[in-house]
Amino acid sequence: MKKFYIVLILIILFFPPVIWTGLFIADKDLYVSLDYDLGEKREKTQIEELNSLALSGEAITDWFADRAPFRSSLISFKKNVDSVLEGPYEYDIKPAALMRIYGIEDTRTKMAVDTIANAGQKYLYKSDKIRNLLTDTEKDVVQTPPDCNIVGHDWRISNMVDPTYISYGYTEYICKNCGEEKTDDWTDKLIDDSYLAPNVHGETTIGRFDWLFLHGWGNLPYYQATNILSEEDMNVYVDKINTLQAICDARGIEFAVILTPSKDTIYPEYMPSFEVVDPYKRVPRLFDYIKEHSSVKITFPCKELKDITRYYESYYKYDSHWNFVGSFIGVQSLYGLLDLPQTDILSLDVTKESREASGDLIELGKLNASDFPPFYEYVVHYKDDVTTTYETQESVLISDIYKTETDCADERSFVMIGDSYRNFMIPYIKKDFNHCTFAYRDNETEIKDDILNADILVLQSSERYDYRFLKDMEYLIRLFSWHPSKE
């Protein structure tokens, strides 16, 4: 009888893996789609002795569960079912029960608002519009408005906008006396914290409300914080950056660094339910360490990029890069380091244009663009009076080396080395300097003369490429060592 149980257990353990292997052979694409990584960070259950198979049902269960075919899919299915059931319970059954039994209104119902139909949300949470609490809604007609700069504005609420899962709430005011308008009293977006199974297509992850994120190219470990640098490793960065800073100081070059946050750092609320093992992630930790142990001018403009999302999106919905609003915010953060005049984007004319769905994440995921709603492109009108007198012929967004000359007042030479994020900064920086050179990091040797003669030298690196930023510094240290200053 004991042998029978052992044979039965072996069949139970090994039959599913055989089916799993057969699926891999029959349809590899389906196999990969069902076998994605949930980001679990623990060792699988081990059984040291075969005899324990016949003695411990718990050990058998744990061992099999850790090796079960379709494990990720089954876990995701269960959590999705829980999520679907949670919505009606929280927003329909529970509020009704509280009101009927205890006469208490569920405050969570008040917080929920309509979400746009094409946002990709399967269950629409609804609530009544927040009521205008003002009793004085009449608008007096004033023939000669008083000077509110002297007497002060008399603000009255003209409109209250609820937050949604994709936009902030706010209150619009109008001055009773002069008619001036303002927006204030912002409230955070609602957060959908229900479980969303990772839906990975090639290098692309489909997030909440149709937002796409980069899954491959080494990006996921940065998001999950599984690749945090040791203090010894961070010291290597500090040593290089201090050495390069000293060289630039000796040559009279103003040196600065801008680290560009990843899209999932600015919009984590739209990411699927990947496990994040440490909220203090690799690059924020590295940035703080460099700030503490170096005098270099460095920025990692996360707060600025998140703050502007009250008014505009700062990253493309279907692309891994920041858009022209996000890059403008990055440029202004950089100018703060360089003691240059900064411009508030809210003081500028920004054109919002609807575009058909497109972006590198649609291409990397081999997705059908027609399955996604349009997105918005923002055109920031900045110093339109500055004339470009020379520029290379290649398109800004795909050029490896891009040089410009303008008729602006600042005659200094500006050089930036970085990755593809730098291209979105060109339309603004080129209007603030006579001579600019922007180069992809693999083309550094082709612009060595520009580097050696630069007045301002900036290294740019996206969050997931911080290790490339280290190599950039090593190259520049060697270059300056080979070419001593003319002084």
Can you give 373-403 as a three-state secondary structure string? CCEEEEEEECCCCCCEEEECCCCCCCCCEEE
> Would 427 be classed as within a structural domain?
yes
pLDDT at 230: 95
Same structural domain, 172 and 261: no
Tell me the backbone φ, ψ of residue 131, rounded to 5 degrees: -75, 145
Domain end call among 187, 205, 234: 187
Same structural domain, 173 and 244: no
Two tokens, residue 375: 């997105």
Do the beta carbons of residue 188 and residue 163 sit within 8 Å?
yes
pLDDT at 398: 66
> Would 41 be classed as within a structural domain?
yes
Same structural domain, 44 and 108: no
pLDDT at 477: 96
> Would 200 be classed as within a structural domain?
no
Same structural domain, 93 and 65: no
Same structural domain, 156 and 240: no
Same structural domain, 123 and 240: no
> Would 380 be classed as within a structural domain?
yes
- Give counts: helices (H), strands (E), the chain: 18, 15
**Domain interval for residue 56:** 2-69
Same structural domain, 43 and 111: no
Domain count, the chain: 3
Sequence-distant (≥ 6) Cβ neighbours of residue 443 within 8 angstroms: 400, 401
Same structural domain, 58 and 94: no
The stretches in the chain having pLDDT less than 70 are: 1-147, 393-398, 485-487
